[in-house]
Amino acid sequence: MYNVLIAQHTIGIQVINVPGTVGATKTIPVSKFRANCLKLIDEIQESGGEIVITKHGRPAAKLMPHAPKLRAPFGRDKHLVRFMGDIITPLDVEWEAESNPDRVLNP
């Protein structure tokens, strides 16, 4: 169960903050957003919260901090691996399975 805190600011923003979450969700009419958009963008960048912009009392848009594009999981660590020598040519080492075929499991 969360305690929801609601407060009114001088520019008419309704703030809803759920403890344990990052930032706050704010609801603001489009007219107030238009008048204070640069200030609100700076606020969102600092706090990490979100602003829901309403038009005639209904949500019309959401302003949130830009999330950096995540790199694809394939190849993202390629700078951590370094190949030493030839990795294609077979080794001249006898494998244990080749020397003792009785120990190999047959499916």
Q: 59 in a domain, yes or no? A: yes
CATH number at 59 reads 3.40.1620.10
Range(s) of the domain holding residue 38:
5-63
Residue 98, in any domain of the structure: no
* DSSP run (H or E) holding 45: helix 30-47
The reported pLDDT for the residue numbered 31 is 93
Q: What is the pLDDT of residue 105?
A: 67
Structure tokens at 97: 């399975």
Instruction: Please tell me the total number of residues recorded for the chain in this structure.
Output: 107
Report pTM. Answer: 0.46
Tens digit of each residue's pLDDT (9 = 90 or more) over 31-57: 999 999 899 999 888 888 899 999 999
Residues of the chain with pLDDT under 50: 1-22
Cα–Cα distance for residue pair 66/70, rounded to 1 Å: 12
- Residue 106 covered by a domain: no
Q: Is residue 78 part of a domain?
A: no
Name the domain count of the chain.
1
Please state, in angstroms and as integers, the Cα–Cα distance from residue 63 to each residue in 8, 32, 44, 93, following that order: 19, 14, 8, 62
Give counts: helices (H), strands (E), the chain.
2, 5
